[in-house]
Chain A
Amino acid sequence: MPVSVSTVMLRVVYALIPGLIAYIWFFGWGVVVNILFAVAIALGCEAAMLAIRDRPLKPFLTDGSALVTAVLLAISIPPLSPWWITLIGTAFAIIVAKQLYGGLGYNTFNPAMVGYVLLLISFPVEMTSWQAPLMLITQHSLGFLDALRIIFGGGLPDGLRLDALTTATPLDTLKTQIKLDHNVDDIISTAPIFGHFGGKGGEWISAGFLLGGLWLLYKRVINWHIPTAMIGALLGMALIFFIIDPAHYPSPLFHLFSGATLLGAFFIATDPVTAPASTRGRLLYGALIGVLVYVIRTWGGYPDAVAFAVLLMNLATPTIDYYIHSRVFGHGENRKD
């Protein structure tokens, strides 16, 4: 049976659940607070913009697209970021990146990623102060009220210091340490932030997103082309450099389970509104995102690059659509395949 837009969007949110459970497990209540707050702001902004633009409220508020944007953005920002970070990012994503471009279906850029990049560039300190996984915060337990207090400006709970609460992410650590001419193996085995094959906790969150992504594929909410091409290209790049110099370039597996690779491959790059229409176009789009992620991670100024890579390729989507069409039935060579 055919599905509606809201079903498509809700399925995307459902598919995020396994990854979210892992995320909450490892990083605590801040994640939940961020998501709920972002959703409220997103729906509020969406309603206000729809009213200003004289569009019907009900069909567009219930289509689930603002919900998806809010959840994706909330996942991307550090779990204990101050409330105004979430507010600015979400409001900018919905008002500017989505509604000012014409609303659902008309935005050129992925709204969640626009919001994220705006925050990353404007507030680098807040956006890089990642909370450490809970098991690395030994001084103090971090309950729901603690999370609320930290996020909404109540300061840190007694006995918890900021430097104990936050830490550099695995990708960040690796980048800095490699620049100091340390060996990849040594870095990973000494810094506590690393897990079995990615970041501590992060690898399981990524695995959760992978699981959800596979479910989306099974439900045909997304096509295999973009995730496969993106992951394939990233792994390919990583493998080449890993083989050449394993001391300075981490393994493909590390790249796969670190940062936003799997979240990006299944939930962000696959946003159909901002991706090319044809199958071959999507393969190219996904592959170039994969290459860009590796290039920026390895040689660029930022530790992770999924948001930049996706936005850059959003920019290229009209051009890809202009040049790459599908082979229409009965056109071109007559193949028996």
Chain B
Amino acid sequence: MIRRLWKFNGGVHLPAHKEESASHPVRRAPLPKRLILPLHQHIGESAEAVVKAGDRVLKGQMIAHAKGFVSAPVHAPSSGVVVETGDLPVPHPSGLSAPCIVIETDGADQWTQLQTHGDYTRLDPSALRNIIREAGIVGLGGAGFPSFIKLNPGPGKAVNTLILNGVECEPYITCDDMLMRERAPDIIAGLRIIRHALRARECIVAIEDNKPGAYAAMCAAAAGTDIHVVQVPTIYPAGGEKQLIKVLTGMEVPGNGLPIHIGVVCHNVGTAAAVYRAVEYGEPLISRYMTITGGNIAQPRNLEVLIGTPVKDLLDECGWNPATLDRLLMGGPMMGFALPGDDVPVIKTTNCILAMTAADSQPQRPVMPCIRCGACADACPVNLLPQQLYWHAHAKDLDKVQEYNLFDCIECGCCSYVCPSNIPLVHYYRYAKTEIWAKEREKQKAEAARLRYEFRLQRIEREKTERAAKHTQKKEELTAAPVDPSGTKKAAIVAAMERAQAKREEVKSEE
């Protein structure tokens, strides 16, 4: 069936650089000596460690449990001994350290007892969600949002369209492509499980038309079902969730809303495969496909990598040259971020390690003033006016940038890419966003301080009035009290004075 497709504004055609890594079958990366598992690999609350240094763990054993609703547990990717828990460098744009569990592997790769669940169609959606939550599955497309939440449409919300995102529009990255080519049946099986949980009316698998191998494999796997496998035109960022929904349904997700608000749910193909492994075999998420590529890599390829493997192990495995390394990125060239070093581990959301030489990047042209040519606006998939945003961000006019819908920016980098003046536009937007968040926090702090101060003033005032009230009450009590009618008080005082006089005289006579 030919589906009607829609277009989103702008987008750019980028040199794909995909053949390099997509021409070899995927193989398993060798078992690393150390596995470093950050407790925060997803959106939401960090997981909480349930093992301590010295504990022996088995492959697949939960080592940190989900804390709070929006959270995901972490499992041991291989058997070994916990040697350390503490703050270590993690792959995050900030370059900061964060709590991690470090496992020294024993080479046995011994599984823990896995619990299987039988026929999923007999399971209640909430039971399915629980299995997926306990397996630590998060969105493998990049965002890392705990998947079980996106398997719950919420009360009164029906899911019309379930989209499986196999677009993979960013250059260099081919892990979803390879996964679809090699494990299409797993993905389709996972999709059916997700569909069962969501009770979705219609299922679409979207694949960019530059991946004929993946398309053929997915079509074959979906044959005989009512799942539509659809090729979408190759343009960056067609794989962005909101952009893909627009392409497939013609509907736009409201600016401050979620896909579910228009009856759509989107999952990544890798997530679907992980869901299948979790439900069918009880396997938690402990490994994933990952692209190791870039001009610095001798044998660019995809590997099946254990979560927590240090980046350096993977670079060594594929052959790299530290001398000519210009930039080491996690993710693609457009939305990825520079790694602080090669000692950080890969995490659940890592789809690509990109090691670039100077020749890979575009030659750095000097930054020129904005000539308002509008190439950025033509390329913006969200229809923003990037040059106006830049202008106001540059001037630090934080109200104006919000008026120009700064927070709708998905930071895809199309504007910076096409800018003839070579202005790093997205940097300015990120800067403006962090400034606004900081201001917001300041405001909240100031608000809290103001409330505290006002409360203190109130309390002092209240105490004052209370004291005054007490005072007057006492006074009243005193005046209202009967004035020693029998004179006993007076008599007692007189008696006491006499006693004291007597005592003094006594002391004198003794001298």
Are A63 and B385 also in contact (CB < 8 A) when A2-B418, A2-B419, A329-B9 are? no
**Min CB gap A220→B, angstroms:** 8
The answer, among B8, B370, B404, for a CB contact under 8 Å with A329, is B8
Are B368 and A277 neighbours in the complex by a CB distance under 8 Å? no
Count, chain A residues at interface, CB 8 A: 36
B372 cross-chain contacts in A, Cβ below 8 A: 105, 272-273, 275, 277
Cβ-based interface call for A8 (8 A) = yes
Are A326 and B377 also in contact (CB < 8 A) when A2-B420, A278-B385 are? yes
A279 cross-chain contacts in B, Cβ below 8 A: 377
Are A330 and B254 neighbours in the complex by a CB distance under 8 Å? yes
Are A330 and B242 also in contact (CB < 8 A) when A8-B420, A336-B6 are? yes
Cβ-based interface call for B160 (8 A) = no
A60 to B369, CA, bound (A): 10
Q: Which of B22-30, B106-114, B245-253, B327-335 forms part of the interface with chain A?
A: B245-253
Cβ-based interface call for B1 (8 A) = no
Are A330 and B255 also in contact (CB < 8 A) when A2-B419, A223-B378, A277-B377 are? yes
Are B369 and A59 neighbours in the complex by a CB distance under 8 Å? no
B362 cross-chain contacts in A, Cβ below 8 A: 2
CB nearest to A333 among chain B residues: B252
The answer, among B251, B365, B369, B408, for a CB contact under 8 Å with A4, is B365
A121 cross-chain contacts in B, Cβ below 8 A: none
The answer, among B252, B369, B404, B421, for a CB contact under 8 Å with A330, is B252
B417 cross-chain contacts in A, Cβ below 8 A: 2
Cβ-based interface call for A179 (8 A) = no
Counted as pairs of residues, one from A and one from B, with CB atoms less than 8 Å apart, the total is: 104
A326 cross-chain contacts in B, Cβ below 8 A: 377, 383-385
Are B257 and A330 neighbours in the complex by a CB distance under 8 Å? yes
Cβ-based interface call for A334 (8 A) = yes
Name, among B372, B382, B418, the residue most crowded by chain A CB atoms within 10 Å (CB to CB).
Answer: B372
Are A327 and B251 neighbours in the complex by a CB distance under 8 Å? no
Are A321 and B388 neighbours in the complex by a CB distance under 8 Å? yes
The answer, among A3, A277, A325, A329, for a CB contact under 8 Å with B255, is A329
A20 to B2, CA, bound (A): 50
A329 to B380, CA, bound (A): 10
Cβ-based interface call for A52 (8 A) = no
A220 to B377, CA, bound (A): 13
Cβ-based interface call for B89 (8 A) = no
Are B371 and A325 neighbours in the complex by a CB distance under 8 Å? no
CB nearest to B15 among chain A residues: A1
A335 to B368, CA, bound (A): 37
B254 cross-chain contacts in A, Cβ below 8 A: 330-331, 334
Are A105 and B369 neighbours in the complex by a CB distance under 8 Å? yes
CB nearest to B365 among chain A residues: A4
A277 cross-chain contacts in B, Cβ below 8 A: 372, 374, 377, 385, 387-388
B262 cross-chain contacts in A, Cβ below 8 A: 334
CB nearest to B10 among chain A residues: A329
* Interface flags, A1-35, vs B, CB<8A=1, else 0: 01111011000000000000000000000000000
Are A330 and B385 neighbours in the complex by a CB distance under 8 Å? no
Cβ-based interface call for B210 (8 A) = no
Are B242 and A329 neighbours in the complex by a CB distance under 8 Å? yes
CB nearest to A221 among chain B residues: B373
Cβ-based interface call for B224 (8 A) = no
Are A63 and B368 also in contact (CB < 8 A) when A3-B420, A8-B420 are? yes
CB nearest to B418 among chain A residues: A2
Cβ-based interface call for A180 (8 A) = no
A5 to B257, CA, bound (A): 38
The answer, among B252, B371, B385, for a CB contact under 8 Å with A5, is B371
* Interface flags, B285-315, vs A, CB<8A=1, else 0: 0000000000000000000000000000000
Are B420 and A328 neighbours in the complex by a CB distance under 8 Å? no
Cβ-based interface call for A104 (8 A) = yes
The answer, among B378, B383, B419, for a CB contact under 8 Å with A328, is B383
Cβ-based interface call for A78 (8 A) = no
**Min CB gap A64→B, angstroms:** 11
A330 to B311, CA, bound (A): 38
Cβ-based interface call for A286 (8 A) = no
A104 cross-chain contacts in B, Cβ below 8 A: 368-369, 371
Name, among A56, A104, A328, the residue most crowded by chain B CB atoms within 10 Å (CB to CB).
Answer: A328
**Min CB gap B421→A, angstroms:** 5
Are B255 and A328 neighbours in the complex by a CB distance under 8 Å? yes
Cβ-based interface call for B422 (8 A) = yes
* Interface flags, B216-249, vs A, CB<8A=1, else 0: 0000000000000000000000000010001000
A329 cross-chain contacts in B, Cβ below 8 A: 8-9, 242, 246, 252, 255, 381-383, 408
A308 to B418, CA, bound (A): 33
B85 cross-chain contacts in A, Cβ below 8 A: none
Cβ-based interface call for A106 (8 A) = yes
Cβ-based interface call for B405 (8 A) = yes
Q: Apart from A326-B384, A327-B383, what 20 extra A-B contacts exist at CB < 8 Å?
A: A2-B419, A4-B421, A5-B368, A104-B369, A105-B369, A105-B371, A105-B372, A220-B375, A272-B372, A272-B373, A278-B385, A326-B383, A328-B405, A328-B408, A329-B9, A330-B253, A330-B254, A330-B257, A331-B255, A336-B6
**23 A-B pairs with C-beta separation under 8 A:** A3-B420, A4-B365, A4-B420, A4-B421, A4-B422, A5-B371, A5-B421, A65-B371, A104-B368, A105-B369, A273-B371, A273-B372, A277-B374, A277-B385, A326-B383, A326-B385, A330-B252, A330-B253, A330-B254, A331-B405, A331-B408, A335-B252, A336-B251
